[in-house]
């Protein structure tokens, strides 16, 4: 028997019927703030409003329902940074199946708790590995040992077809208002979403440019398709955008992405943080890092999309509120608004006042100051954090700091020191 390794629009149409009473038809909303900002018509596909607050329910349910009854009763497993796990947990509870869900140890607590909530007594959560790929290895071993059924988060034609139902909704919803999209932006992690959505758009809206958006620190699809022309495994990845930080894409998604993705763009994790804060303050949308990726890419495309119709898939809204402090910090660093230095400070009265008067601008702020006076020395080491009123003042700040202490260390440029001290 030939094993099917690609997905068609027909498969997506069938998945759409499977999901009719399971997945929510999420809104396609014109975003007036982004439309004004980029001088075009920006629409958001709000998968953050899905039952499990991400698109992953679509693929998980469609893949599980494709199993025969005997296989389903043997139990299911999955490996996930969070959103796929929630989709599997939701499905396991709905179909009364046993599920063992493997998640990286680094998964935000909010996502772990949501998996337990959606799965209830049907689900066991196992935390293992620092990355998705380490977690995946453990899940596959367990699956084989206990003769269960692994539900792949992206390298599975039924998962991909399920994610593709999102595109069917977009096209049908846009027809109601007679909208044709020039660009579609979607996040890429393992490639399931872009493969399903891209497949459907290439059949039903051929001249829409499909743009795959990856975090700069984990651009495994770009490296595979564009740079190496073969699947590669990234040795080190930045894990912050946990829903899209994958070191190796799937064989199936790699093949499909080659055919359906027109352009790739990498977005700095700090830019993603700025987008998250912007979406929250301007649009009251709580997007997780992977969910904000598509919107983050608009800044790099602002000249191309002017006057165009654009749709961005907000793929998830499972953001842990405890991460907001880190998100704000990363945003300020990316925007070059926050800066840290190690200085030798004179141990004499008035030294701090002198620093404030001579080094800082009138609206700059000291956000961190660590100093321990030692009576046996003329100077003491200070760790100081400064938030600028305007990022264009950075050169002036550096010059003033160097005049105050020529031997200063600029911590922002040293990741190891920043991680240790800040």
The answer to whether the 9-55+157-328 and 76-147 domains have the same CATH topology is: yes
Alpha helix positions (H), 19-131: 32-38, 56-65, 69-73, 83-95, 109-119
**Per-residue pLDDT of the chain in tens (422 residues, 90 and over written 9):** 445 789 999 999 999 999 999 999 999 999 999 999 999 999 999 999 999 999 999 999 999 999 999 999 999 999 987 899 999 999 999 999 999 999 989 887 888 999 999 999 999 999 999 877 788 899 999 999 999 999 999 999 999 999 999 999 999 999 988 999 999 999 999 999 999 999 999 999 999 999 999 999 999 999 999 999 999 999 999 989 988 999 999 999 999 999 999 999 999 999 999 999 999 999 999 999 999 999 999 999 999 999 999 999 999 998 888 889 999 999 999 999 999 999 998 888 888 899 999 999 999 999 999 987 666 678 889 999 999 999 999 999 999 999 999 999 999 999 899 988 88
CATH for 336-420 is: 3.30.70.260
Judge residue 292's burial from the number of C-beta atoms within 10 Å of its C-beta, 0-12 exposed, 13-18 middle, 19 or more buried.
Answer: buried
pTM of the model: 0.92
At residue 243, the pLDDT reads: 86
What is the fold of 9-55+157-328? Rossmann fold (3.40.50)
Comparing CA positions, the residue from 38, 31, 41, 128 lying closest to residue 81 is 128
**CA distances for 145 relative to 124, 149, 304, angstroms:** 16, 11, 51
At residue 376, the pLDDT reads: 66
As a whole number of angstroms, the distance between CA 235 and CA 244 comes to: 16
To the question of domain 76-147 being in CATH 3.40.50.1100, the answer is: yes
DSSP string, 159-189: HHHHHHHHHHHHHHHHHHTT---SEEEEE-S
The secondary element (H helix, E strand) that includes residue 347 is none
As a whole number of angstroms, the distance between CA 325 and CA 166 comes to: 32
Are 217 and 270 contacting, i.e. CB atoms less than 8 angstroms apart?
no
Q: Do the strands 338-346 and 379-387 form a parallel or antiparallel pair, or are they unpaired?
A: antiparallel
Alpha helix positions (H), 300-408: 324-334, 351-359, 394-404
Are 179 and 43 contacting, i.e. CB atoms less than 8 angstroms apart?
yes
Structural domain spans, the chain: 9-55+157-328, 76-147, 336-420
Are 52 and 58 contacting, i.e. CB atoms less than 8 angstroms apart?
no
């Amino acid at each position: 028997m030939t094993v099917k390794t690609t997905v068609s629009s027909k498969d997506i149409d069938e998945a759409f019927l499977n999901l009719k009473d399971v997945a929510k038809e999420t809104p396609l909303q014109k975003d007036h703030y982004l439309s004004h900002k980029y001088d075009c018509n920006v629409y958001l596909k709000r998968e953050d409003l899905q039952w499990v607050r991400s698109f992953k329910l679509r693929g998980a349910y469609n893949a599980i329902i494709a199993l025969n009854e005997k296989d389903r009763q043997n139990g299911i497993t999955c490996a996930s940074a969070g959103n796929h796990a929630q989709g599997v947990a939701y499905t396991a509870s709905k179909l009364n199946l046993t599920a063992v869900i493997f998640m990286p140890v680094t998964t935000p607590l909010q996502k772990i708790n949501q998996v337990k909530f959606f799965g209830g007594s049907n689900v066991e959560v196992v935390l293992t590995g620092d990355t998705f790929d380490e977690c995946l290895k453990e899940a596959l071993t367990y699956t084989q040992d206990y003769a269960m059924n692994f539900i792949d988060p992206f390298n599975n034609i039924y998962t991909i077809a399920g994610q593709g139902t999102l595109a069917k909704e977009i096209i049908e919803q846009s027809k109601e208002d007679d909208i044709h999209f020039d660009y579609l932006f979607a996040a890429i992690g393992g490639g399931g979403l872009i493969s399903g959505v891209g497949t459907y758009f290439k059949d039903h809206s051929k001249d829409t440019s499909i743009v795959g958006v990856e975090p700069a620190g984990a651009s495994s699809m770009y490296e595979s398709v564009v740079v190496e022309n073969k699947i590669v495994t990234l040795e080190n990845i930045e894990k912050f955008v946990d829903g899209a930080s994958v070191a190796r894409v799937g064989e199936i998604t790699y093949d499909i992405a080659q055919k359906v993705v027109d352009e790739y763009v990498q977005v700095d994790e700090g830019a993603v943080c700025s987008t998250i804060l912007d979406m929250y303050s301007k649009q009251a949308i709580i997007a997780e890092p992977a969910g904000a990726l598509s919107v983050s890419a608009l800044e790099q495309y602002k000249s191309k999309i002017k006057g165009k119709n654009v749709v961005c898939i907000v793929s998830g809204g499972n953001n842990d509120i405890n991460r907001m402090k880190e998100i704000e910090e990363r945003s300020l660093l990316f925007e070059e608004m926050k800066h840290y230095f190690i200085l030798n400070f004179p141990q004499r009265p008035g030294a701090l006042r002198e620093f404030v008067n001579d080094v800082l601008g009138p609206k700059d702020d000291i956000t961190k100051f660590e100093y321990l006076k030692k009576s046996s020395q003329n100077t003491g080491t200070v760790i100081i954090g400064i938030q600028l009123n305007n990022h264009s003042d950075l050169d002036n700040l550096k010059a003033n700091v160097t005049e105050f202490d020529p031997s200063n260390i600029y911590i922002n440029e040293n990741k190891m020191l920043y991680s240790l001290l800040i």
